Structures are given as C-alpha cells and as structure tokens.
C-alpha cells in the first residue's frame, strides 16, 4: 500500500522503524509505504487537519497504466522502498493547487475525482526535485526528552525553569534540546511556554472563578502589570477587557 498524506493545518508525525520519528507540517505532502509508516506517533500541536489517501499498488498499477502508460506505480513504490520508505515534498504552488481542489468536492463526483487527483499528485511527487524535499526527524530518545521537557514546562507554571536545568536533567546539550523542541512544536521553548501560560490564563478568565490577580500569579507573573502587558500583546486586549 502507498499512503498519501497532506497537512492542511497543524503538525503530524510518523514512527519509522524502531528508532525514528518524522514530522511534517502545514502544506507538506508525504507519500509513503504504509507498512513502514503505519504507526501514528502524535499530533504535536494538539490539532490536525488534512487528508489521507491509500493506494493498493498491485490493484492500481494496471488501471493507471491504461491512462498514463509512462507512469510506473510499482517503480515509485520500489524507489521508496530502497530509500527511507517515504518522500516528503514541501508545499509549493502546484501541489497546493491540486490539493486545494480535494477539500471541496461535490459528493456526486467525489470518488472518481479523488482517483484523478491522486494520479496527479503521484505524478508531481515522482518528478519532485530534491531541493523541494525536506524532512525533520528525531530519534525516539530525543522525542521522549522533548515530551518530558514539555511536561516539566506545564507542571508548575509558577516555577522558574532554565535551559541549563532542563539540559542537565535529561543529559543533552542545550543546542540539541532547543533544536529538538522547536522541531516538534515549531516554537522556541520559552516562547511556547509563554503562549501556553497565556492560553491557560484565557481559560481561567472564562471560567470566572479566580480574580485577575490570582490568575496572574497562577501562570507565573509576580506583577499584575507585566501579566496585563503580556496578555494584551498576545490576545489583543487586557485581561479585564477579555473578562467582559
């Protein structure tokens, strides 16, 4: 089986073999051998929108040749098999055009239309230049480190945590830690933590059980004025305005 995945929003990860996880994000297209990539690791950002298409290579090869004699589906499968089991193509205008039309299709023609568009996608992928192919992957060891760091960051929002402390705790270099975290969550560690705190503050304000002062302390701001300034910079209004 060949598997085609397109990420419209969010972030997606594949577990490959026993020690590698590959990530791709908004606008990316991934064609892979299903047997090698069938374990979904995670949606790192907590949300995901996209589409997934499966193609039975043995069944589809001959019918495809009737329409496109020069296209070798088995050859594409074997080329993936000989390399790393997948091909990741970064977003580009041609792929975006083909994919965009798949998200809004009349139910009466959806099945046939999807087959035609799947062929078009395969053609684009088969000729994608190496310069457009990019991937980000981590060992499972480093994925575990990132997840543990994330848990530390949200466990106690009032605590002060440094990169040095986190790197020493998990026996990795500061550079490795920062690069791995940003690779998974798309943001530097403390930018991610700051936004998590402010998102949490929004939820607490909406619940209405705590005062603004109590919330500011709960999310790690000793000064209400600094909390208000950070909140307004992120949300677009002050906590008091948001409460209304």
* Spatial distance between the Cα atoms of 153 and 190, rounded to a whole number of angstroms: 9
* Spatial distance between the Cα atoms of 44 and 49, rounded to a whole number of angstroms: 13
Domain co-membership, 124 together with 157:
no
Which residues lie across from 22 on neighbouring strands?
A: 14, 137
Q: Which residue, 94, 115, 137, sits at the end of a domain? A: 137
Dihedral of alpha carbons 131, 186, 34, 101, sign = negative
Q: Which two tokens stand for residue 181?
A: 């975290």
CATH number of the domain encompassing residue 16: 2.60.120
Domain co-membership, 10 together with 60:
yes
> Angle, nearest 10°, between helix axes 224-235 and 189-207?
100
195 pLDDT above the threshold of 90: yes
Q: Is 172 left (phi over 0), alpha (psi -120 to 50) or beta?
A: beta
Domain co-membership, 78 together with 152:
no
Domain co-membership, 29 together with 122:
yes
Domain co-membership, 59 together with 176:
no
Number of domains in the chain: 2
Structural domain for 81, as ranges: 2-137
62 pLDDT above the threshold of 60: yes
At residue 39, the pLDDT reads: 59
93: number of Cβ within 10 Å: 7
237 pLDDT above the threshold of 90: yes
Once rounded to an integer, what is the mean pLDDT over residues 72-87?
Answer: 84
Q: Which two tokens stand for residue 78?
A: 């074997």
Do the beta carbons of residue 146 and residue 182 sit within 8 Å? no
* Spatial distance between the Cα atoms of 100 and 90, rounded to a whole number of angstroms: 15
CATH number of the domain encompassing residue 210: 1.10.10.60
Domain co-membership, 44 together with 123:
yes
At residue 38, the pLDDT reads: 58
At residue 217, the pLDDT reads: 93
At residue 99, the pLDDT reads: 82
Domain co-membership, 120 together with 15:
yes
Per residue in 130-148, pLDDT (tens digit) is: 434 445 778 888 989 999 9
116 pLDDT above the threshold of 90: no
At residue 132, the pLDDT reads: 45
Return the higher-pLDDT residue of 135 and 164: 164
pTM of model > 0.75: no
Question: What residue ranges in the chain does DSSP mark as E strands?
Answer: 2-16, 20-25, 29-33, 39-42, 48-55, 86-89, 136-138
Average pLDDT over the chain reads 85
> Angle, nearest 10°, between helix axes 57-67 and 73-82?
130
Domain co-membership, 129 together with 172:
no
Q: Which of 208, 177, 201 is nearest to 190 (CA)?
A: 177
């Amino acid at each position: 089986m060949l598997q085609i995945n397109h990420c419209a929003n969010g972030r997606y990860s594949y577990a490959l073999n026993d020690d590698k996880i590959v990530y791709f994000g908004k606008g990316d297209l991934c064609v892979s051998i299903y047997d090698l990539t069938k374990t979904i690791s995670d949606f790192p950002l907590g949300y995901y929108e996209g589409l997934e298409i499966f193609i039975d290579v043995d069944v589809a090869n001959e019918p495809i040749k009737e329409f496109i004699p020069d296209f070798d589906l088995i050859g594409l499968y074997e080329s993936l098999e000989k390399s790393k089991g997948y091909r990741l193509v970064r977003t580009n205008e041609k792929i975006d055009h083909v994919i965009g039309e798949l998200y809004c299709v009349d139910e009466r023609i959806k099945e046939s239309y999807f087959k035609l568009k799947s062929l078009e996608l395969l053609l684009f992928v088969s000729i994608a230049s190496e310069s457009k192919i990019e991937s980000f992957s981590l060992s499972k060891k480093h994925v575990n480190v990132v997840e543990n760091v994330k848990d530390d960051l949200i466990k106690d929002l009032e605590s002060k945590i440094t990169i040095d402390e986190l790197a020493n705790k998990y026996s990795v270099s500061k550079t490795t830690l920062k690069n791995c975290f940003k690779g998974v969550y798309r943001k530097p560690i403390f930018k991610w933590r700051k936004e998590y705190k402010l998102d949490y503050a929004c939820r607490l304000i909406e619940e209405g059980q705590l005062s603004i002062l109590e919330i500011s302390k709960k999310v790690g701001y000793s000064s209400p004025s600094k909390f208000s300034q950070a909140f307004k910079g992120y949300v677009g209004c002050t906590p008091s305005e948001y409460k209304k």
